[in-house]
Amino acid sequence: EVKLVESGGGLVQPGRSLKLSCAASGFNFNDYWMGWVRQAPGKGLEWIGEISQGSSTINYTPSLKDKFTISRDNAQNTLYLQMSRLGSEDTAIYYCARVGRQVFDYWGQGVMVTVSS
Amino acid sequence: DVLMTQTPVSLPVSLGGQVSISCRSSQSLLHSDGNTYLHWYLQKPGQSPQLLIYRVSNRFSGVPDRFSGSGSGTYFTLKISRVEPEDLGVYYCLQSTHFPWTFGGGTKLELK
């Protein structure tokens, strides 16, 4: 069974940084691109970006490219999202997802990030 | 960015009925590799999105045949027949032909 579990969310002050993790199991993590999507409270879905199997290619949505960094540790079957200079507009549920043939086929349950003083 | 426009925003339905949701893109979603990367998701209340249809018309594993997708170019449709209670929630289309990937704004399927 494919399982994705996000962690690392919580309350963070504006301007600070936060790193999210996504632990993967139930499939060969090394074989798949992985990605992140976020959803502001009561809003729709926003694609953050994706990373290739060996981390050689990382694509971001342009508006977040200078604030967010996606990485992975294949030995630990873990995906990461490093977020910096956080603002209230970054308050959202953050989902990690597996990329299967250019589609997010499995999603984690999501982790809430609240940016507030 | 490719703009994805979903209609309607809200869709009242009776159990057992049939509905259609539309998704229109601002550019053609036909990729140079010959595939069209338009997908459909359902997000049930309090849950993460789940994949229903990938590449226009392919049902994902475990998705009942009550769900069907069609379309090409810039116009796509998701049809749900014999609506059941577990079908209620917000439906999103996603295009992954062009970077950045973009989602439609969502269509909320709710009981009349």
A47–B102 C-beta distance less than 8 A: yes
Give the count of alpha carbons within 13 A of A13, CB side only.
2
Average pLDDT of chain B to the nearest whole number = 97
Cβ of B99 within 8 Å of Cβ of A44? The answer is no
A34: β partners: A51, A98
Q: Show residues of chain A in contact with B43, CB under 8 Å.
A: 45
Torsion, CA B94, CA B96, CA B97, CA B101, rounded to 10:
90
CB spacing of B54 vs A101 below 8 angstroms: yes
Average pLDDT over residues B7-16: 97
Contacts of B55 in chain A (CB under 8 A): 101, 103
What is the rounded CA–CA span in Å between residue B100 and residue A19? Answer: 22
Q: Tell me if A103 and B51 make a contact (CB, 8 A cut-off).
A: yes
d(CA B49, CA A71): 23
A9 touches chain B (CB under 8 A): no
Q: Mean pLDDT over all residues of chain A?
A: 97
For chain A, which ranges sit under pLDDT 50? none
CB contact, 8 Å: B69 with chain A? Answer: no
Interface contact flag, B94 A104, Cβ < 8 Å:
yes
Nearest residue of chain A to residue B106 (CA atoms):
A44
Q: How far is A13 from chain B (nearest CA, A)?
A: 26
pLDDT in tens, B18-30: 999 999 999 999 9
**CA–CA distance, A12 with A65 (Å, rounded to integer):** 20
Comparing alpha-carbon positions, the chain B residue that sits nearest to A35 is B101
Q: What pLDDT is recorded for position A10? A: 98
The pLDDT assigned to B19 comes to 97
CB contact, 8 Å: B49 with chain A?
A: yes
**A63: nearest CA partner in chain B:** B100
Dihedral of alpha carbons A22, A26, A27, A30, sign:
positive
Each residue's pLDDT tens digit, B65-90: 999 999 999 999 999 999 999 999 99
| Chain A contact set for B4 (CB, 8 A) | none
Average pLDDT over residues B1-27: 97
Q: Taking CB atoms and an 8 Å cutoff, what residues of chain B touch A103?
A: 37, 39, 51, 54-55, 94, 96
The confidence score (pLDDT) of residue B93 equals 98
Question: What pLDDT, on the 0 to 100 scale, is given for residue A111?
Answer: 98
- Provide the pLDDT for residue A6: 98
